[in-house]
Chain A
Amino acid sequence: MTARRGAPARAGGDPSAQDRPLLTVEGLTKRYGARIGCADVGFMLWPGEVMGIVGESGSGKSTLLGCLAGHIAPDAGRVIFDTRDRGPRDVLAMPEPERRMLARTDWAFVHQNPRDGLRMGVSAGANVGERLMAVGARHYGQIRGAARDWMARVEIDVGRIDDRPSAFSGGMQQRLQIARNLVTGPRLVFMDEPTGGLDVSVQARLLDLLRGLVRGMGLSAVVVTHDLAVVRLLSDRLMVMQGGRVVEQGLTDQVLDDPQHGYTQLLVSSVLQV
């Protein structure tokens, strides 16, 4: 399998980091009582690569993403992330403070519902600046400058920097959530249905924007979606989940154009598309 490795090398990083996976997942399993959330999931994500996860409702996509991002404690498995300073580390074995630090620096999580990922009670500028302040930024002018810059990058009128997100449209809120997440220059972005709940025209614009940002910043990402159009546009590789298990994975085009598993064939033939 040829993974795309077009990401620009980062200053100060380990030069060999481009030659090894950014994320290695092994045997990841989460049960809710007798019910399976996800079972025995394994994959590798390379620097600059986008992995799509598709599957019907209840197939375990959000559970898997939650386990990867440290929001849900899995019952078994390993999630090894290639950290900036200390190389590959098992995220699940990290002390909580270290994992939280990772979550607000090198990782980002874009929720389907922007309300879950934004602070609705403070201004757009403060929303974008929060992660910078959380990692020690103490210059108001610079924080505001970064907030302006990022609002422009996600195509929000910079004049709205002091408005609360509750005054924004759904599409703007989602773009603000993305800006808020990317401001610290993360290397890995988790997205759960980033275009879900938006109008089709708004979805297309957001998707274009995401694609530009992911490619431009050389981001690695894991994107959960119902929407095969999203994976076609964004992801290099694709995992198909059913009943908590991965039933097929491969290059996106291969999987979509020549599905091997019966379930994937149904999915692609759009019979199962929601």
Chain B
Amino acid sequence: MSEPKGPAERGKIVTEPEPISYNFAYLDEETKRMIRRALLKALAIPGYQVPFASREMPMPYGWGTGGVQVTAACLVPEDVLKVIDQGADDTTNAVSIRAFFARTAGVRTTTRTAEATIIQTRHRVPETPLREGQILVFQVPIPEPLRFLEPRETETRRMHALQDYGLMHVKLYEDIARHGEIATSYAYPVKVEGRYVMDPSPIPKFDNPKLSMCPAIQLFGAGREARIYALPPWTRVESLDFEDHPFTPSKADQACALCGAADSYLDEVITDDAGGRMFVCSDTDHCAGRRGEAS
């Protein structure tokens, strides 16, 4: 897979197209229609996991094939695509997926949240508030929030159907009993519109509040598990907790060493061989924008 093409190269594609043996955005129209049907159903029942006939994609499962299929089904030629992995646009995974769609769909790509119409993400929600008309596509490894408590699929399905969610709080109870607090910091379970308990994918719990009442469409794709779920715009999303141990969207108690942001999610990075460390924004676009470098 090649690096993302600059504007000049993109122009070249239009004038001298490479021999293309695949459909727009790689998937055939029938497959995209099947995925869109699943997406519509998922949007109609917020937080409910809809099974779909997940396809093989020309990349390994760990690379977010669920998200890639959802993105492929949503893309139109006018879209501007952004792809992030843990907040960064420049990791191998993000670069490869962006290049994949630049080549198979010929869509414009960007690193800027505000410019994008579709954002595929692994493990983060951008810091820049999303707006109406945007679509955020999450890559999901394990869609079933009850999985670790109840391995039987027949039983978890029944628990969802009957809203039999006591087990979720059993897990949080165990956390507090063992660690003095709710130790879950990623993939922190949420309840959608007071109905379905949902795994928000392994985003940090810091991002959980951003899911709620979000103006954008949020779609979740799990490739290996063949499940799609969704949050339509302006959906109420609550993080599960106890009255006396309320949910806290915590982050490292630091400011970004590069842009000084005190309110963005930070990664700890090692800066030299001597073990020097610093905290920087996990959202590279956000950080660059604050430093006035985005161009």
Binding site for B on A (CB under 8 A): 96-97, 100, 104, 119, 122-123, 125-126, 129-131, 133-135, 137-141, 143-144, 161-162
Contact = CB atoms under 8 A, between A and B. Distances in A.
Contacts of B165: 134
Interface in B163-182: 163-167, 169-170, 173-174, 176-178
Contacts of B176: 140
Given A139-B243, A140-B245, A123 B174 contact: yes
Nearest to B167: A130
A81 to B, nearest CB: 19
Given A130-B166, A130-B167, A123 B244 contact: no
A129 B170 contact: yes
Interface string B251-264: 00000000000000
B242 interface: yes
B162 interface: yes
Contact of B177 (A100, A119, A125, A131): A125
Interface residues of B, number: 18
9 contacts: A100-B162, A104-B166, A123-B177, A133-B166, A133-B169, A133-B173, A134-B165, A140-B245, A161-B177
Given A138-B241, A138-B242, 14 more contacts: A97-B163, A100-B162, A122-B174, A126-B173, A130-B166, A133-B169, A134-B164, A134-B166, A138-B169, A139-B244, A140-B173, A140-B242, A143-B173, A143-B242
Nearest to A161: B177
A101 B165 CA distance: 12
A126 B244 contact: no
Nearest to A141: B244
A162 B177 contact: yes
Counting from the closest, the 5 A-B pairs by CB-CB distance are A134-B166, A133-B169, A140-B242, A133-B166, A139-B243
B29 to A, nearest CB: 40
Interface in B138-181: 162-167, 169-170, 173-174, 176-178
Contact of B170 (A96, A133, A135): A133
Nearest to B182: A140
B170 A119 contact: yes
Given A138-B242, A139-B243, A126 B162 contact: no
B242 A139 contact: yes
Nearest to A131: B166
Contacts of A122: 170, 174
